[in-house]
Each structure stands twice: as structure tokens, then as C-alpha cells.
Structure 1
Amino acid sequence: MTRKRQQFSLAQVNRLLLGIALCLIWLAGISHADSSRDALFDALKKAPNEAEAEVIENEIWRSWLEAAPSPDLQSKLETAMRLRGQYDFQGARDLLDEVIAEAPDYSEGWNQRAFVLFLQGNYEASLEDIDRTLDLEPRHFGALSGKAMIFITQGRVKLGQETLRQAVEIHPYLKERSMLIAPKGVDL
């Protein structure tokens, strides 16, 4: 029995190599996004002052917003945020409901809807969305801060303070840090 050797054309080899290269680029992009965000959080924690922390914070927010799984969903999220800014809370909520239905693993969809629910005074539903946000992105200092504000508003001050301390642990220059109550004998 003779073995027939299969030969590939140069074009077939090039297509195969191109496919492998594209897969590697795609995988590197995923890894790069994660490592870039990790680096941002490290830099935020080590920021020497509030001004530098604000620059880093803005980059983290941008990375959360741009993590939308599609341009259409990112556009819906941005439109919802614009509607929220115009006090059209129901219009914003309707769009965010769509974002969450289409991308249930996109943390910023949950976080933005939690914010709208908070503004509507629906604290329990907001807390549910915040918890989902934190399940997906445990370092979400915005969600933690919102959770603390809800607890404090509800009179659950001790729980609010604990949650706010968690947020400040992640983001030492968080604007809401001024709401922390110093334990007896400790200056903040």
C-alpha cells in the first residue's frame, strides 16, 4: 500500500495561517481588555491624588461602557443614559430592559438600570440590579456606592457604611467617601 501525500496549495496554507492569526488576535484582545482593566484598578488604588484618580476612574467607566457586546447595545445604553439625564426615566428604563434582555452578562446594563430604578425610588429593584452588577463585576465601585446610598437612605446606616468602605477600598478617592463616618477614636 502506498501512502499518498496530500499537498496543500500556497493559497490554502496562507488561508489557514490567516485564520490562526485572526483567532490569536481575537484571543489577545479579550486578554488585553481584562489585563488593561486590571492595570487601571491597580493604578486607581495607587493614585497619588484625586486628580489622577479621576482620570483613571474615567478610563474605567469608559471600559465598562465599551464592553457592550455589540455597537447596537452600546448605542442603546448611551441613549438610555442621555434619556436619564433628560429625566425620561421610563424611556431610559425601557431601553435598559432591552439591553439586559439581549445581554444578560453585560454588567453595565444592570448598573445603569439600577441607577434609573434608584432615581425612580424603587430601591428594592435597584438593589437587585446592583447585586447582579456586582456578581458580574465585583470591583464596580459605582454599584457599591449606589448600594451604600440606598442603605443609608433606608436608615440602614451601618450596612451603608460597610458597603461604602468596600467601595473606597477599591477607589480610595471616591467622591462619596466624604459620607463615611469615622469609627470612634479614628480620624478619616
Structure 2
Amino acid sequence: MQLGVDPCEFVSAVTPVLERKDLSGLLALLKSRWTGEQIVALLRCPDCDARKVAALALSLVGCRHCLPALARQLKDPDPVVNQLAEHAIWMIWFRGGSEEANQHVCRGARAIDRGDYHHAIEHFNQAILLCPDFSEAYNQRAIAEYLLERYEQSILDCKKTIELMPIHFGAWAGMGHCHAHKGRLAEAVECYQRALQINPHMTQIRQAVEELRSRIGVDV
């Protein structure tokens, strides 16, 4: 397999910077020595360490075009690769808008963390005004709406997220939560299953499927 970059050389070059926890240095190194396509190609490498480091690198320099390859690594046989790929996907989703829109989404997410859901929604609204196709702005607004128990509105934002980003396992899971709270258990199971098809390592979602199936009398 022709990768365009030696996996051992890549790991050897990146590891010392990781050990120093030099984030800015790592970002500069990645941008100066390898293209995104070369790093994505390493996700197919038989060397597990190379796949791990590549997934970590893409959390810093990856873009939307890297997402299909990272989504495939959610099913990698190595659990650490799964975790690093998921982290990279979320990082790419969060920087999917303009710089200003990304800042609004980050501020909104921090507002959610402190329980200020209304101000969070204001930030997500601003992000959407700036970038109407910013999928993570809709997903984060869906989370805030869910926490305010506005389940139908949250479902609409989950659907918009999925329309813009079909692999968004978080939005599928979130829509499942909303249906479950509304008592639509079969719909919840269907959404959870769609999330698990993309990301099979969502343990809590898998447990929720088992619980709901038992409640609606379907064999697990």
C-alpha cells in the first residue's frame, strides 16, 4: 500500500512533541511536513500506533473531507483508535463554520456546561445566522433545547444536523432521547440503532436500546 509517508517516520517525529505536550509545536509540525491526505491515508495503515497518531493529528488539522475515513475508524479493532477517531470527529464538527461562528458554538457549549441554556441558544442562533450550513450549531442547539425539555424543537434541530451531516451519531442519539422522553419508544430505538450503526462503541446508547426493547416487548 502506497501511503506517501512512512508510518514509522511519522510516529517517530510526532511522539516526542506529544510527550512534551506541545500543542502549538505539534500543530506547526503537522502543517509543515504532511498534507491532510497523507495523514488520512495512515488511518489505513496496519501499524496500530500509526493509526492512533494519525487520528490524534486529524483532531488538530483535519477537515470535513477527513470525516468519512475517521468514521470508518470508529469500527477499528483497536479501542484506542476508536476513541481518538471519535475525538477527532467532534473536533472537526466544532470547527465546521467560520471563525466567528465557531467561537459562538464554543461559547454556547460552555454556557450549556454551566446550565445557562437560554444564553447557549442565543450563541447557537448567532452561529447559524453566520453559517446556515454549520451542522454542529444545530446539534448544540438541539442539546440545549433538550435540556429545556423542548423535545419537539430539539428533534427538528437533530434532523437538520443529520441533513447537513449524515454521519452525526450524536444527533441520532439525541433524537432518540427526545423520542424516549415523549414515550415514542419504537422511534427512540430506531434512532439509537442508527447512531450505533455509525459508532458501535456508544455503550450507554446500546444499554438504552436493550432497556427500551425490553419495555416494548421486543427480543434483544
TM-score clears 0.5: yes
Tell me the distance in 1 between the aligned counterparts of 2:65 and 2:104: 26
- Matching residue of 2:146: 118
The runs of 5 or more residues in structure 2 that have no matched partner are: 1-36, 38-61
Partner of 1:15: none
C-alpha distance in 1, partners of 2:112/2:133? 22
Whole-angstrom distance in 2 between the partners of 1:102 and 1:75: 11
Alpha-carbon offset, residue 50 of structure 1: 4.0
Aligned to 1:134: 162
Question: Are residues 1:47 and 2:76 paired?
Answer: yes
Would you say the 8 A contact 2:64–2:96 is kept in 1?
no
One-letter amino acid of the structure 2 residue matched with residue 54 of structure 1: Q
How far apart are residue 47 of structure 1 and its match? 2.0
What are the Cα deviations for residues 98-147 of structure 1, in whole angstroms up to 9, with x where unaligned?
Answer: 11112111101100000000000101111111111111011100000000
* Alpha-carbon distance, 1:83 to partner: 0.8
Shift of 1:52: 3.1
Structure-1-length-normalised TM-score = 0.76
Identify which of 189, 193, 206 aligns with 1:161. Answer: 189
How many equivalent residue pairs? Answer: 153
Matched residue of 1:155: which SS?
Answer: coil
Which is greater in Rg?
Answer: 1
Q: Secondary structure at the match of 1:139?
A: coil
Q: List alignment gaps of at least 5 residues for structure 1.
A: 1-27
Residue of 80, 105, 108 corresponding to 2:133: 105
TM, length-normalised to structure 2: 0.66
Q: Alpha carbon RMSD of aligned pairs, Å?
A: 1.7
Kindly indicate whether the alpha-carbon contact (under 8 Å) linking 2:135 and 2:165 is maintained by their aligned counterparts in 1.
yes
The one of 67, 73, 94 aligned to 1:37: 67
CA distance in 1, matches of 2:127, 2:64: 22
Letter in 1 for 2:125: D
Task: Work out the CA distance in 2 between the residues paired with 1:137 and 1:101.
Answer: 18
Residue 54 of structure 1: how far off its partner (Å)? 1.8
2:201 aligned partner, one-letter code: Y
Give 1:49 shift: 4.8
